[in-house]
Amino acid sequence: MKTLLWIQGLTCNGNTHSLLNAENPSFYDIFSKIKLLFHPAISSDEDLIKIIKDITQNKISLTFLVVEGSITKNKSFCRVGDFSIAEIIDQLKDKAEFIIAVGNCASFGNIPALYKENTNVVGLQYIFTEKKGLLPPNFKTKSGYPVINISGCPIHPAWFMQTILALYYEKPLILDAFNRPKEIYMYLPHDGCIRNEYFEWKEESEEFGHKEGCLFYNLGCKGPLTHAPCNKILWNRTSSKTRAGMPCLGCTEFNFPLRENYFETKKNIGIPEEVPLGVSKRAYITISGVAKSLRNERVKKKLEETD
């Protein structure tokens, strides 16, 4: 039976909380197929140190090593028994068939990597854009994959389940430039956003929480620049940030915590500093000018007032 060990570094437990909401399969369904060796929030009787020792002595085979949270060698910030989280990963890295980083902290270091009090915080294989995480840039597990990053703050539970099931059934995973499964991260929140009509006609929202208007130009929405399927795989099967009138914060990207203001679209002479992926600034300016000059009267009304 395949096995899974879940360990945590510097984390808020957000990805664990998200995983408990998994459906089809549920958290309990998946662990009827895979033996859960240990999870910090669920396991109560198991001895993690003994499990790690048994794995290193080849008494237990380890299929999936799942890591939640940023990594540090500083035991004052994170320790498991007498070991730092970095030492634990060093003991297990060559034993696991697959290593999966869940969440932006384990993937890219994220907010803990900004600590001024501890400059030794990284992701498993990355620190933000650079491949200078705990493990070497060319590191690969026994299966031949690098660390598989499921980024997000937090992850959607379906992203984890899709990935783990693909690996369980030995289906090949295509990874993007940041080692994220392409099947999940080839989409943008812009895909499937119910505000696309407003985006096309450059009708912008000025406030949060409204049904009308695009959130890109004024409110800092990163939907057209972020790799995530948030409007194709809805949260709680119901909604997403942009559907609720909240800008996408780009939390699946390597540079998520490096912004100064999450709710501002920086502009130069009225032109956004960053334009949608795949679009040149020249094309953006041209399309915006055409859309505004032709006008769509429907998108200027409250939805309840439209025909």
248 is in an annotated binding site: yes
What residues contact residue 82 under an 8 Å CB cut-off, 6+ apart? none
Residue type, 68: E
Q: What's the farthest any 2 CA atoms get from each other in the chain? A: 71
CA–CA distance, 149 with 25 (Å, rounded to integer): 20
With tokens 């769509």, the residue in question is 296
Whether residue 148 contacts residue 98, with contact meaning beta carbons closer than 8 Å, is answered with yes
Would you say the C-alpha torsion 87, 57, 125, 28 has a positive or negative sign?
negative
What residues contact residue 202 under an 8 Å CB cut-off, 6+ apart? 214, 217, 288, 291, 292
78 is in an annotated binding site: no
Backbone angles phi, psi at 200, to 5 degrees: -60, -40
According to DSSP, the β-strands at 96-102 and 148-150 are: parallel
Range 249-283 burial, b when 16+ CB lie within 10 A, else e: bbbbbbebbeeeebeebeeeeeebeebbeeeeeee
153 is in an annotated binding site: yes
Tokens of 127: 């620190």
> 3-class DSSP state for residue 50?
helix
Question: Residues within the annotated binding site for [4Fe-4S] cluster?
Answer: 12, 105, 153, 190, 193, 214, 221
- Residue list, annotated binding site: 12, 105, 153, 190, 193, 214, 221, 230, 248, 251
Binding-site entries for [3Fe-4S] cluster:
230, 248, 251
